[in-house]
Structure 1
Amino acid sequence: MHSNIAVIHDSLLEIHDGEKYVVTKNNKIVKYSYLCLCTGAEPKLVPQAKDFEEILGIRDTDSVDKFVKKIANAKKVIVVGNGGIASELVYKIKNTEIHWVIKDRHISSTFVDPGAAEFFLPSLKNNEQSTEPVSKRMRYQEEDFKKSGAALGPDWYKNLIIRGAGDLTVPSEVKIHYESEITHISKDRNSVHPLQVTLSNGADLTCDLIISATGVTARKSFATETALELTEFGEIKVNEHMETNVPGIYAAGDVCSANWNVAKHWFQMKLWTQARQMGSYAARCMSGHLNKEEILQDFCFEMFAHSTKLFGYKVILLGLFNGQKLGTNYEILIRMTKGHEYVKFVLENNKLQGAVLIGDTDLEEMAENLILNQIDLSPYGDDILNPDIDIEDYFD
């Protein structure tokens, strides 16, 4: 750590932008020239969470530590939510009966379309841990899992062993409840599985633990002298230099919302990797303003790009991968080899606008270049995804 960095373990309570200082929960006063708000987001739990200690949310290292301890004594769990964390959990949890409650018609809808969801299902049913693919990006890891408040990075579950109290010889069974939500929860301490749960589809379930992974809301539990401009969802609006409406105050990550004319192939999602990019760019903007230097917007805002792993497969999402912003005027090309790869190209006017690459496709660099350069692909037709043609040779 640099010698000019001081870490204060405390919570922000008040911002006094007139005299440029902040007050912490422990009444510590810190003056600033420029301030960047990176308070992140907090999980949206199911409404019944306040009444049952057996309902957990997962957002930071503290909550994961608590979850791992709790599930060690559970034989039957319910996972609520259909995003990245929920998808990772149902695949990672072992020796436990799992009921996955989702409000959508297919799994992992935050990231993938119904076709990709069908591609994933056999892996979920087999529930076998595959060899982790080689990662071509920097890996992030917490050496000390007891550190308080650290947000989960993209590799949060890589070194975790998540096992329930079920029979070690029996693989975990996952039952998916589509288009459903929890409507009622009660507790019977005399039951083998104390939580009694009713779903909107009429199903009655029992379990030992409920994991709520139903999204997040911006964390803004502090007061300001001058009101910050917010979106309808409570996120702080920022301009192309990550500045809020209050001079000298910036914001980055999940707490903020991009309030500028963004590039066609970029959009904001509440992802750790995107939050990190925003934080890095905000720091450069603050330094640039301090030193009166020209600030050029970071290239990461030119195209959406996300790399993750779902159900044992490497997943690359590029550009408008699900046709975001395109309305209905686009076409989709799909190539799928069961158990090996799933490739989806989204085209508009014969130009690639987005891509979903699942498995070891080795197409990410080519797809990225085609999206950024907007090359006319009409001469190639459907051969753009013909497995017998090495299409990369055309665009090297």
Structure 2
Amino acid sequence: MNPNKKRILIVGGVAGGATCAARARRLCETCDIVVFERGQHVSFANCGLPYFVGDVIESEAKLLVASPDLFEHRFNIEVHTETEVTRIDRQARTIEVRDLKTGTYREEAYDALVLATGAQPIRPPLPGIDLPGIYVLRNIPDSRKIKAATAQASRALIVGGGFIGLEMAENLVALGLDVTLLELADQVLPPLDAEMAGYAAERLRANGVELRLGESAVSFEQHPERGLILHTSKGATLNTDLVILGIGVRPEATLAREAGLELGELGGIRVDPYMRTNDPAIWAVGDVVEVKNRVTGQWQLVPLAGPANRQGRVAATAIIHDFSCGEKEALPPLAFDGVLGTAVCEVFGLTVACTGASEKLLKRLSMDFEKVYLHPGHHSSYFPGAKPIHIKLLFSKTDNKILGAQAVGEKDVTRPIDVIATALMQGATIFDLENLELCYAPQFGAAKDPVNVAGMLAGNHQRGDFPLANWDELETTPALLVDVRSADEYAGGHVPAAQNLPLESLRDRIHEFPTDRDIWLICGVGQRAYYAYRLLAQNGLRVKVLSGGMKTYSARRRATEASG
């Protein structure tokens, strides 16, 4: 070790730590950079673990993003795996390190320290939680254990209906196991709103997964013959061969806490926009930190690889800038200014994606918002293979800014969400969505792209050209409900109490509408109801539209039935 060199020590690899190390080397060739990783692998694709269990990814080697040898020979970065950092001495600027293979301790000095200790899976203190056959999925050794267990199993029980839970359900079904999924909330995918998550629940059930919503694990016990017994909050007794806990994760902040670094209310390390902690020589990145939500301004935990990578890049840039070494022109001002929580999940061919705030979050924070639903094809309907996608857009009533979006479908769901996420990052409004110029050819989209249409619907509402009825008031409204679909469509299912007056007949039947009562219109997906609104409003009637029509009504009804 050259005592004249600046020394950067990084605790933890994977996304944030490994990115920070590589970025620091690109900016500074003269620094000593050392990574300490408690696990066996310094950089691996943890998002691919469910698919390794399910044999979609056949080789474990495919999960390895970079090896210690690669770090050493390509980047001149020293990596110590199976090495645990046990203590930080902030005054002396040293860390205590334990070699897990030999049990020996040593001290390492630093000029800059980066904590990328990640998060640990939640294992609630339930009776029997540590019995054999109960697994978490966080790293490659975890996936090996689960993979070995599935070879001897016919039944699996997943506790938790988040992204990992759904991905594991799909992969275990593909292996031929009978799968039960237990979720405390009354919906799967808690980051989404219930009516949007309902599409995923429907797809899970259609593929044989038993969903038990609004139900939690109470205790586990060993079955006298084989497997495990789970007792639930609803008094059920479930037999299974293996259990996977997908309840969530919590920041692995013990090292930071014991060193006296500032933690937030959620248990994560508090950092500034440059990922610096309250100690000027210590930075933190990845799942261990709390981050600001760009929409609500609140602190939250977002254990996602994308933000972790960006944070690692920001921290490395800030460190090298502090050292006043490297090429200054290679050091643009970088800051991490929050997250949107943009995420995507696929389950049995159905893709679910979201960005920004959900409706339930906005309600919880008493934020003033409006929403529109649309159900377009993923490309032009006349071109073969068009599949419906379901989009929900949330926006501010006061300044028209986009607040969030969710989309579900079999095809091209990530594209509209990525476009809206980009607009969100720029502080765009719904009127900006109207005017976006996006790629169009019939096999890729529509002349009116779904993102444009979402902006048009929201923009028309804000201009007063498209008043929206409140879905939450459907059961209690005194308004006259009018279904403007055909008689055959109406007969196939309709909103209770809705009268059927097909769009094509309205001009001849305007005299049948009351002039002293609100009229709420509904159709299949919203388009015909909008046409009907324009016709009736111009005849002096008090009219509103139920956004998204029967498609939205059906989704909301499924969500209500699931929670009831």
Equivalent residue, structure 1, for 2:110: 32
Work out the CA distance in 2 between the residues paired with 1:55 and 1:379. Answer: 47
Equivalent residue, structure 1, for 2:203: 123
C-alpha offsets along residues 259-290 of structure 1, whole Å, 9 cap, x if unaligned? xx664367641222222222222112212222
Equivalent residue, structure 2, for 1:316: 353
After TM superposition, list the pairs within 5 Å mapping 1:8-19 onto structure 2: 8-9=80-81, 10-19=83-92
Work out the CA distance in 2 between the residues paired with 1:333 and 1:120. Answer: 20
8 Å Cα contact 1:17/1:224 also seen in 2? no
Work out the CA distance in 2 between the residues paired with 1:33 and 1:378. Answer: 46
Q: Does residue 1:354 correspond to 2:393, yes or no?
A: no
Work out the CA distance in 2 between the residues paired with 1:102 and 1:224. Answer: 31
Runs ≥4 residues deviating over 6 A: 292-295
After TM superposition, list the pairs within 5 Å mapping 1:59-138 onto structure 2: 59-94=138-173, 95-109=176-190, 111-127=191-207
Name which of 305, 315, 318 aligns with 2:342. 305
Q: Does residue 1:58 correspond to 2:101, yes or no?
A: no
The structure whose Rg is larger is: 2
C-alpha offsets along residues 75-120 of structure 1, whole Å, 9 cap, x if unaligned? 11110012111111112212111111100111111x3211122222
Equivalent residue, structure 2, for 1:343: 391
Equivalent residue, structure 1, for 2:223: 188
Displacement, 1:17? 1.7
Work out the CA distance in 1 between the residues paired with 2:108 and 2:230. Answer: 48
After TM superposition, list the pairs within 5 Å mapping 1:142-161 onto structure 2: none
AA in 2 matched with 1:91 = E
Distance 1:178 1:5, change over 3 A: same
Equivalent residue, structure 1, for 2:310: 277
8 Å Cα contact 1:49/1:56 also seen in 2? no
What is the CA RMSD across the aligned residues, in angstroms?
A: 3.0
Q: Does residue 1:374 correspond to 2:428, yes or no?
A: yes
Equivalent residue, structure 2, for 1:363: 416
Distance 1:208 1:49, change over 3 A: same
Q: TM (normalized to structure 2)?
A: 0.55
Distance 1:276 1:77, change over 3 A: same
8 Å Cα contact 2:184/2:214 also seen in 1? yes
Distance 1:237 1:4, change over 3 A: same
Displacement, 1:232? 3.3
AA in 2 matched with 1:244 = T
AA in 1 matched with 2:197 = A
8 Å Cα contact 2:88/2:255 also seen in 1? yes
Distance 1:352 1:223, change over 3 A: closer
Distance 1:186 1:50, change over 3 A: closer
Count residues with an aligned counterpart.
339
Work out the CA distance in 1 between the residues paired with 2:354 and 2:160. Answer: 20
8 Å Cα contact 1:99/1:174 also seen in 2? yes
Distance 1:322 1:296, change over 3 A: farther
AA in 2 matched with 1:108 = L
Q: Does residue 1:327 correspond to 2:366, yes or no?
A: yes
DSSP-derived class of the 1:276 partner: helix
Displacement, 1:180? 0.9
DSSP-derived class of the 2:209 partner: strand
Name which of 178, 199, 204 aligns with 2:237. 204
In percent, how many aligned pairs have the same letter? 22
Work out the CA distance in 2 between the residues paired with 1:230 and 1:244. Answer: 9
Name which of 36, 42, 45 aligns with 2:120. 42
Displacement, 1:214? 0.7
> For structure 1, which runs of at least 5 residues remain unmatched after alignment?
128-172, 381-386
Equivalent residue, structure 1, for 2:79: 7
Work out the CA distance in 1 between the residues paired with 2:156 and 2:389. Answer: 30
DSSP-derived class of the 1:89 partner: helix
DSSP-derived class of the 1:214 partner: coil
AA in 1 matched with 2:108 = V
8 Å Cα contact 2:117/2:253 also seen in 1? yes
DSSP-derived class of the 2:353 partner: strand
AA in 2 matched with 1:43 = P
C-alpha offsets along residues 139-180 of structure 1, whole Å, 9 cap, x if unaligned? xxxxxxxxxxxxxxxxxxxxxxxxxxxxxxxxxx31111111
8 Å Cα contact 1:43/1:217 also seen in 2? yes
Work out the CA distance in 2 between the residues paired with 1:379 and 1:241. Answer: 31
8 Å Cα contact 1:119/1:342 also seen in 2? no
AA in 2 matched with 1:329 = D
DSSP-derived class of the 2:343 partner: strand
Distance 1:59 1:302, change over 3 A: closer
DSSP-derived class of the 1:116 partner: helix
Work out the CA distance in 2 between the residues paired with 1:303 and 1:233. Answer: 17
Equivalent residue, structure 2, for 1:179: 214
Distance 1:298 1:322, change over 3 A: farther
DSSP-derived class of the 1:368 partner: helix
DSSP-derived class of the 1:19 partner: coil
Equivalent residue, structure 1, for 2:524: none
Displacement, 1:366? 4.1
Work out the CA distance in 1 between the residues paired with 2:257 and 2:186. Answer: 42
8 Å Cα contact 1:16/1:224 also seen in 2? no
8 Å Cα contact 1:180/1:201 also seen in 2? yes
Distance 1:283 1:265, change over 3 A: farther
Structure with the higher helix share, 1 or 2:
2
- Greater RCO, 1 or 2 (C-alpha within 8 Å, sep 6+): 1
Equivalent residue, structure 1, for 2:537: none
Displacement, 1:50? 4.6
Displacement, 1:306? 2.9
Q: Does residue 1:264 correspond to 2:300, yes or no?
A: no
